[in-house]
């Protein structure tokens, strides 16, 4: 094909550039080619850009960034049945092997052979065209914008976190963090019937937005120089203060979406006996964990990563119904040619920045 395929490429740690890549070809009859229309920037994209690795995923060669995307199908393989040329779709960015026990059970987020966009060594979606398995593209209704379609991805992450927590109606949910994932977890929890959803964040601006978006209230920790000097005891005091403020004997479910050590600890101390604690935020690889409290309270401790079978369709339903409106999180919009500037905005992590999206290369 004579057409060019502009791409935003991470060459090495802290070095990005624009390239004209070949237009990607269908890998087989089950794949589709999508013209990317919108892409949201995720913290993991910035992590690879600045540090070159997340856990065992290490940048060893250039990759195209981006994985929160929507677009228009422009080519389909002969055996694709769920979409046709012209369909507007949300793209699920991780395609697993389909054959291992994890995949066969629906827990394909644990598949070791997943091809996940913008996770080394695989290219991501910040290019004009992206090729993906057809059944990992999902048509979106006409009233959903392409920005909505791109942000189905973080909504699906929140759906997975709430499913891991086995969240039920009538429960009290405490969410540490009012960044995009924390806020979306609060919204999904409310959509699933939680009776009280409380956020925790040090940012007054983010707390204000979270309350307007979905949370029943947001607790803003205040500096207390008269409190315990031991970090763990300070975290215990924070957890107990949250419970005292809301007259709770503990939260049924704690969703930790910051990865901050003190928040992890406070979340354990704030959990109800027999409650569930889900770790979704990623910060330091190793933290001091109040294991004795977790044992004494018989807590169920779980980790959450990506999403599994059913999460993407569920996320689209939540967005299409208006129960979750991720577009409201968008604080900055950039053209494709401004992608590096967009990444710089996310890197600064200012409290007035929630979601940053990049418009695709025009047809």
Instruction: Report whether 70 contacts 90 (CB < 8 A).
Output: yes
**Does some domain include residue 265?**
yes
pLDDT > 60? residue 280: yes
> Can you tell me the mean pLDDT for 330-341?
98
For 90-129, how does the pLDDT look when each residue is reduced to its tens digit (9 = 90+)?
999 999 999 999 999 999 999 999 999 999 999 999 999 9
**Does some domain include residue 315?**
no
Could you tell me if 162 and 299 lie in one domain? yes
Alpha-helical runs (H) found in the chain: 43-51, 101-104, 146-150, 152-164, 180-191, 204-213, 231-245, 261-270, 291-296, 311-321, 339-348
**Does some domain include residue 215?**
yes
Could you tell me if 173 and 250 lie in one domain? yes
- Assign residue 66 the CATH number of its domain: 3.90.180.10
Residue 3: pLDDT band with limits 50, 70, 90: confident
Could you tell me if 165 and 291 lie in one domain? yes
Instruction: Report whether 140 contacts 320 (CB < 8 A).
Output: yes
**Does some domain include residue 345?**
yes
> Exposed/middle/buried for 269, CB within 10 Å: 0-12, 13-18, 19+?
buried
pLDDT > 90? residue 285: no
**Does some domain include residue 318?**
no
Q: What are phi and psi of 208, to 5 degrees?
A: -60, -45
pLDDT > 50? residue 1: no
> Can you tell me the mean pLDDT for 25-47?
96
Instruction: Report whether 353 contacts 346 (CB < 8 A).
Output: yes
> Exposed/middle/buried for 165, CB within 10 Å: 0-12, 13-18, 19+?
buried
Could you tell me if 165 and 136 lie in one domain? no
Could you tell me if 201 and 336 lie in one domain? no
Bridge partners, residue 279, by sequence: 256, 303
Task: Identify the domain containing residue 98 by its residue range.
Answer: 5-150+325-359
Number of domains the chain is built from: 2
Could you tell me if 340 and 256 lie in one domain? no
**Does some domain include residue 312?**
no
Strand pairing category for 63-64 and 88-91: unpaired
pLDDT > 60? residue 282: yes
Closest listed residue to residue 93, CA positions, set 127, 141, 62? 127
Could you tell me if 97 and 178 lie in one domain? no
> Can you tell me the mean pLDDT for 158-181?
98
For 175-222, how does the pLDDT look when each residue is reduced to its tens digit (9 = 90+)?
999 999 999 999 999 999 999 999 999 999 999 999 999 999 999 998
- Assign residue 264 the CATH number of its domain: 3.40.50.720
Could you tell me if 161 and 264 lie in one domain? yes
Q: What's the predicted TM-score (pTM) here?
A: 0.96
> Can you tell me the mean pLDDT for 136-148?
98
Could you tell me if 270 and 350 lie in one domain? no
The share of the chain scoring above pLDDT 90, in percent, equals: 93
**Does some domain include residue 297?**
yes
Could you tell me if 144 and 232 lie in one domain? no
Q: How far is it, in rounded angstroms, from Cα 154 to Cα 93? A: 11
For 61-89, how does the pLDDT look when each residue is reduced to its tens digit (9 = 90+)?
999 999 999 999 999 999 999 999 999 99
Could you tell me if 160 and 299 lie in one domain? yes
Mean pLDDT of the chain: 96
**Does some domain include residue 311?**
no
Could you tell me if 248 and 193 lie in one domain? yes
Residue 259: pLDDT band with limits 50, 70, 90: very high
């Amino acid at each position: 094909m004579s057409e060019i395929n502009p791409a935003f490429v991470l060459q090495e740690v802290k070095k990005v550039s624009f390239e004209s890549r070949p237009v990607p070809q269908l890998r087989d009859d089950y794949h589709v080619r999508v013209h990317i229309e919108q892409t949201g920037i995720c913290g993991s994209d910035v992590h690879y850009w600045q540090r070159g690795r997340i856990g065992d995923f290490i940048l060893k060669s250039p990759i195209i960034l981006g994985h929160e995307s929507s677009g228009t199908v422009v080519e389909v393989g002969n055996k694709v049945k769920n979409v046709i040329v012209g369909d507007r779709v949300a793209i699920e960015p991780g395609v697993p092997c389909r054959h291992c026990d994890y995949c066969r059970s629906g827990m394909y987020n644990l598949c070791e052979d997943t091809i996940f966009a913008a996770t080394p060594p695989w290219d991501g979606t910040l290019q004009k065209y992206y090729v993906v398995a057809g059944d990992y593209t999902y048509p979106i209704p006409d009233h959903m914008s392409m920005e909505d379609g791109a942000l189905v991805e973080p909504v699906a992450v929140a759906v997975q976190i709430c499913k891991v927590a086995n969240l039920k109606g009538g429960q009290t949910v405490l969410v540490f963090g009012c960044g995009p994932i924390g806020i979306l977890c609060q919204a999904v929890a409310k959509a699933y019937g939680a009776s009280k959803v409380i956020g925790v964040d040090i940012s007054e601006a983010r707390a204000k937005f979270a309350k307007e978006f979905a949370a029943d209230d947001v607790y803003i920790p205040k500096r207390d120089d008269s409190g315990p000097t031991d970090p763990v005891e300070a975290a215990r005091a924070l957890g107990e203060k949250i419970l005292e403020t809301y007259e709770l004997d503990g939260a049924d479910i704690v969703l930790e979406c910051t990865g901050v050590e003190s928040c992890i600890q406070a979340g354990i101390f704030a959990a109800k006996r027999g409650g569930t604690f889900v770790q979704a935020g990623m910060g330091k690889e190793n933290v001091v964990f109040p294991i004795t409290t977790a044992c004494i309270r018989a807590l169920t401790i779980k980790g959450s990563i990506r999403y599994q079978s059913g999460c993407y369709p569920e996320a689209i339903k939540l967005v299409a119904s208006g129960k979750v409106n991720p577009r409201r999180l968008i604080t900055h919009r950039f053209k494709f040619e401004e992608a590096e500037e967009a990444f710089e905005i996310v890197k600064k992590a200012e409290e007035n920045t929630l979601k940053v999206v990049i418009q695709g290369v025009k047809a």
